[in-house]
Amino acid sequence: MSSTTNYFENVPRSDFETPGRSRGLSDVIRWRYLLHLLVRTGVTTRYRNSVLGWTWSYVRPAAQFLVFWVVLGIFMNLDRGIPNYAVYLFSGIVVINLFSEGFKNATISIVNNAPLVRKVFLPRQLFAVSAVIVSFVHFLPQLALLFIVCILLGWFQHMTILGILALLAGIVIVMLFSLGTGIFFGAINVRFRDAENIVELLLLLATWASPVLYSWTAVQMAIVDKLHWPGWLVDLYMLNPITQGVELFHYAMWRPATEGLVSAPGYDGLAMMDLPPELAWNTLWTFLIAVGTLLIGQMVFRRLEGRFAQDL
């Protein structure tokens, strides 16, 4: 008995871990085997007992696109000034879907896994991170469909390496922003379930507050020319990470697919709109904003997670 006691007395205290203490997002890497299990479970159970299965990943965005295209593009003529409006619209919809699913599922991830949170210790951030990764997996079929349409319209002839980098940057920015906001509201949602209603409201606004159904030039004309408000409001609008993600997708997918159309012989339609100002610099700034949102969300999460078990 004494030898056992002496053995533990000789072990440095730095080798012990305080039970229940989280190291933040770094625990996601240390517990990556559990993250893999959560992601696999989230992917395989979403369409369990469903007749169409993964086909729903194509049906839902297609139905969403058709509603917006018919009602807004045809009936309300919001496609004025935007050539190849169908691809323009779908390029923005896939970005909004990526953000919306990741943000919403990360917000409710802790509450939905309440039995695990109450009974065992594990890094709670795993639930939010896995929710965002699952949303990315469900986003891939939509992206594949967008690629197919753009390739048929001549995307390959006008694509550039810079466009591919813009596509990847848009995905990273949107996923970081959805994770940061999801962790923030997910922590608050454990104590105050009103957070879910706030998130639903924010997701409703996200579709209309980004140039998905309209062009960024319409915002500029409305703010500067019609309302005569200062131009820095347009710059502030462009610093929305979701807006930047949408514009990066437009640059990477819609522009190459449309350049061939507007330059085709006999085309007498709309001209290509101008690039948003400071697109490259705004990509850097919105990336930093997304990282800052993630850090703030993590700070709030770690401050509140000590009471998760009691509040659940």
- The DSSP-derived string for 166-179 is HHHHHHHHHHHHHH
How far apart (Å, rounded) are the C-alpha atoms in residues 29 and 256?
38
Task: Please check the confidence at residue 13 and state whether its pLDDT lies above 60.
Answer: no
Backbone angles phi, psi at 78, to 5 degrees: -75, -5
Per residue in 250-303, pLDDT (tens digit) is 999 999 988 877 766 656 666 778 889 889 999 999 999 999 999 999 999 888
State mean pLDDT over 54-70.
73
At residue 119 the predicted structure's pLDDT band, cuts being 50, 70 and 90, is: confident
Beta carbons within 10 angstroms of residue 41's beta carbon: 12
Task: Please check the confidence at residue 241 and state whether its pLDDT lies above 90.
Answer: yes
At residue 21 the predicted structure's pLDDT band, cuts being 50, 70 and 90, is: low
Beta carbons within 10 angstroms of residue 219's beta carbon: 19
- The DSSP-derived string for 251-271 is IIIIHHHHHHHHTSTT--SPP
| pLDDT for 79 | 66
- Using the 8-state DSSP alphabet, how is residue 295 labeled? H
Task: Please check the confidence at residue 17 and state whether its pLDDT lies above 60.
Answer: no
Show the tokens assigned to 114: 């309440």
Beta carbons within 10 angstroms of residue 236's beta carbon: 11
How far apart (Å, rounded) are the C-alpha atoms in residues 234 and 266?
35
Show the tokens assigned to 97: 């879907």
- Counting residues of the chain whose pLDDT is more than 90, the rounded percentage is 37
The dihedral through the CA atoms of 133, 280, 217, 199 has a sign that is: positive
How far apart (Å, rounded) are the C-alpha atoms in residues 305 and 290?
22
Residue (of 146, 109, 133) closest to 301 by Cα position: 109
Tell me the whole-structure pTM to 2 decimals. Answer: 0.87
State mean pLDDT over 12-23.
55
How far apart (Å, rounded) are the C-alpha atoms in residues 73 and 85?
8
More confident call, 235 vs 79: 235
Task: Please check the confidence at residue 16 and state whether its pLDDT lies above 60.
Answer: no
Q: Is the CB of residue 121 less than 8 Å from the CB of residue 18?
A: no
At residue 157 the predicted structure's pLDDT band, cuts being 50, 70 and 90, is: confident
| pLDDT for 251 | 95
How many C-alpha atoms does 5 have within 13 Å on its Cβ side?
Answer: 2
By mean pLDDT, which of 77-81, 125-129, 154-158 is the weakest? 77-81
How far apart (Å, rounded) are the C-alpha atoms in residues 199 and 205?
10
Task: Provide the H-helix boundaries in the chain.
Answer: 2-9, 26-30, 32-45, 56-68, 85-107, 109-112, 114-119, 125-152, 155-158, 161-191, 194-208, 216-220, 232-238, 241-249, 255-262, 279-304, 308-311
How far apart (Å, rounded) are the C-alpha atoms in residues 175 and 120?
28
Task: Please check the confidence at residue 99 and state whether its pLDDT lies above 80.
Answer: yes
Per residue in 186-239, pLDDT (tens digit) is 999 988 888 889 999 999 888 888 998 888 988 999 999 888 899 899 999 999
More confident call, 106 vs 259: 106
Task: Please check the confidence at residue 106 and state whether its pLDDT lies above 70.
Answer: yes
Mean pLDDT estimate for the chain: 83
Could you tell me which residues come within 8 angstroms of residue 50 by beta carbon, excluding any fewer than 6 positions away? 56
- First-to-last alpha carbon distance for the chain, in angstroms, is 41
Residue (of 283, 274, 138, 132) closest to 215 by Cα position: 274
State mean pLDDT over 94-122.
87
Counting every residue written for the chain, the total comes to 312
At residue 166 the predicted structure's pLDDT band, cuts being 50, 70 and 90, is: very high
| pLDDT for 22 | 61
| pLDDT for 11 | 54
